[in-house]
Structure 1
Amino acid sequence: MKIFIRADGGKDIGLGHIMRMLVLGEELQKSNEVGFICRNSISNKFEAGIKKIKEKSFKVIEISEEDYIGEIIEMQTKHNADVLITDSYDVDEEYFIKLKEYFRFTGYVDDVNKCKMDVDFIINQNINADDLYYWKNVGKNTKLLLGTQYCMLRNEFRQAYKSKVIKKEIQDILLTLGGMDNNNNTLKILEKIKDINKNLHVVIGSAFDKDLIEKIQDITKKHNNIYIYENANMDQLMLKCDVAISACGSTLYELAAMSVPTIGVVLAENQKFVAEKMKEMNLIYECFEIGAIEKINLLVLLNKLIEDEMLRYNIIKKEKALVNLYGVESLAKEINGIIRG
């Protein structure tokens, strides 16, 4: 089968959609031909996402920001793919209706259930997927692939977790807010915790502005406990680090797989409900919206997590039960079953 995956990533929207679709694409490619469709623009704001895909040796067909439905249809008349899987918030009911007639099967990777979706299958890997009442927006024949049993974890995490050592004494803290940081949030958080008497490992995303990187580098020159990582091997960092401060996207599932107790930072509206659910279930220690950063005593929160061994143990115990390490294999098996009848 020929499968097209439609996803974007870059400075304005981050790289989360791209990263999880690369995981799914690599698994589907074992038994299908897989390519990507991505928007591009004169300002190159999607360039970071396109670069990530090409690094994995997938073919990328670029379309415009404006008439992307029309261009997908035009592209499909040339390539005749069997399946279109979309992972983008820039969709509406019209998008699904128009494109369905041009593909044998269509699927959507969702987080929020915001509109009617005329597709053959819905994927939502999040812990709150069952709370979104999908029956209101999909047909009775739409297959629902919901929950953390379908987590799209990269292969390196599926291997590295076996080597994780849970330490009694905390020495290493991870700070990661994703591939993009237009509002200098990494810097804001780092300023609040830089004086902690532990090692701070700070991830520099591939879509970070040069000015932000330089400001973070300036802090490291004054603090010998801060280490920065560009093009980071996240699995190795999560092996090393004992606790984390993280954006509340897909990284929360990676941290859970690697048994890293976390303080979550809500950077976008779509992250809020996942973060609150995980906090409610004691899967993360705490969460807060980035807009409230000045009201949060982050250093106190972090020290509480560091000092309370039993608290961390209870979080790790729950984390181990949360994520299906081989969820993407289950997901690909389900999709192959749908498209092969």
Structure 2
Amino acid sequence: MLIYTNGGLSIGLGHIMRTLLLASKLKEIFNIVFVSLNKNNFISGHRLIKDSCFELVLIDKSEDIIDINSNYLLCDDCMINDDFFTYSKKYFEKIICIDDECVLKYYDVDILINPNPYAKELQYNTNIATKLLFDYQFLRDEFYKKIPIKIRPEIKNILLTLGGSDDKNLTYKIISIILPFIEKNNITLNVVIGGAFKFKDELIKIRHKNIVFFQNPVMSDLMVKNDIGICACGQTVYEFLFLKIPIIGIVLSEDQKRLAQYGSDKNILYYAKNIKDIAIFLEKSNYNNRLNMQYSMKSYKKYEKLEKIIDELL
């Protein structure tokens, strides 16, 4: 199976992370080969794939994927054009697409996966034989072993995590914005530094009694110790959501806006449209509104475990 995906500077590592998770479930059945564009912006994504011990083939343009021999193609990429799947279909026995946004005019694929809660509201144009899989979530096994948190009257711990990369040094900027609130209320701010953080060295040099930095933590263990999570509106939202932790979400790329707005409308997260909004929300946050957010989360549908996708692929 070929897995075509890209991630790195400007677009983050979310697509890489979730396809690696899926690949870990499929590697016992399929010979997995990752395919990615040979661009300097994606070096951190390439490194992540290699560090996960999967074979990686670099190509100059997406159409070159037909030159790699395989029966199955799984694509998780937000930059493909409308003709990509139809062009590729005659070269593969089965094509699987992971898509969040429904931006293409036509999805000429065998299986279409959208793990987002708004998936069924999107008007996908597919061929009549396309199987739609909208009831699966890309969660690591560690999360299924955790019990959702209990809302405490006072905020003691806040977790800030922006995923694997942070090109604009937003982590530092957010810390600066919310530090007065952290100090005033003697809150511990737990900050995760991703492996591809461009300004990692600058962050590590920060010394403050209320700030603790983590690199490569077991995320579920760290998350359940916190009363609020601050994250980008990508995969991490679902991890916080599964643990029923109130969320402050920010948008780092265009394809995160739909989840941010949906989450805001359903009161499963607070959509901070700029980083100053984070501090404003924290100042206004109280026991009742955090309790109400968690109550809204309880109506969130529990999705099937990822292993069940294997049966669908077969």
TM-score normalized by the length of structure 1: 0.84
Contact between 1:13 and 1:180, CA under 8 Å: does it hold in 2?
no
Q: Aligned partners of 1:199 and 1:101: how far apart in 2?
A: 55
Cα shift at 1:171: 1.0
Number of the residue aligned with 2:22: 24
Amino acid across the alignment from 1:200: L
Instruction: Compare 181-190 and 249-258 and name the one that shifted more.
Output: 181-190
Name the counterpart of 1:327: 305
**1:153 corresponds to:** 139
Deviation at 1:330, TM superposition (A): 3.0
**1:186 pairs with one of 143, 149, 171:** 171
Residue matched to 1:216? 203
Question: Is the helix fraction higher in 1 or 2?
Answer: 1
Paired position in structure 1 for 2:117? 127
The match for 1:99 is 88
1:213-258 Cα deviation digits (max 9, x unpaired): 233234x32x210111222322222121111111101110011112
CA distance in 2, matches of 1:326, 1:111: 17
Is 1:241 the counterpart of 2:210? The answer is no
CA apart distance, 1:326? 4.1
Aligned residues: 309
Q: CA deviation at 1:272?
A: 1.0
Q: Is the 8 A contact 1:84 1:107 kept in 2?
A: yes
Change beyond 3 A, Cα 1:19–1:40: same
Give yes or no for contact 2:160–2:192 (8 Å, CA) kept in 1.
yes
* 1:288 counterpart (247, 272, 289): 272
Deviation at 1:11, TM superposition (A): 1.9
Report the identity percentage. Answer: 36
Q: Over aligned residues, Cα RMSD in angstroms?
A: 2.0
Per-residue Cα deviation, 1:5-27 (whole angstroms, up to 9, x for no partner): 11112122211001111121122
What TM-score do you get using the length of structure 2 for normalisation?
A: 0.91
In 2: Cα distance, 1:320 partner to 1:35 partner: 38
Deviation at 1:163, TM superposition (A): 7.5
C-alpha separation between the residues in 1 aligned to 2:283 and 2:275?
17
Show structure 1 runs of 5+ residues with no match. Answer: 337-341
CA distance in 2, matches of 1:259, 1:21: 24
Query: Secondary structure at 1:282's aligned position in 2?
Result: coil
Equivalence for 2:247: 262
How far apart are 1:206 and its partner, in Å?
A: 1.6
The alpha-carbon distance between structure 1 residues 55 and 214, as it changes in their structure 2 partners (threshold 3 A), is closer
Displacement after TM superposition at 1:300 (Å): 3.1
**Alignment-derived partner of residue 144 in structure 1:** 132
- The whole-number CA distance in structure 2 between the counterparts of 1:273 and 1:232 is 29
Q: 1:54 aligns with which of 50, 53, 73?
A: 50
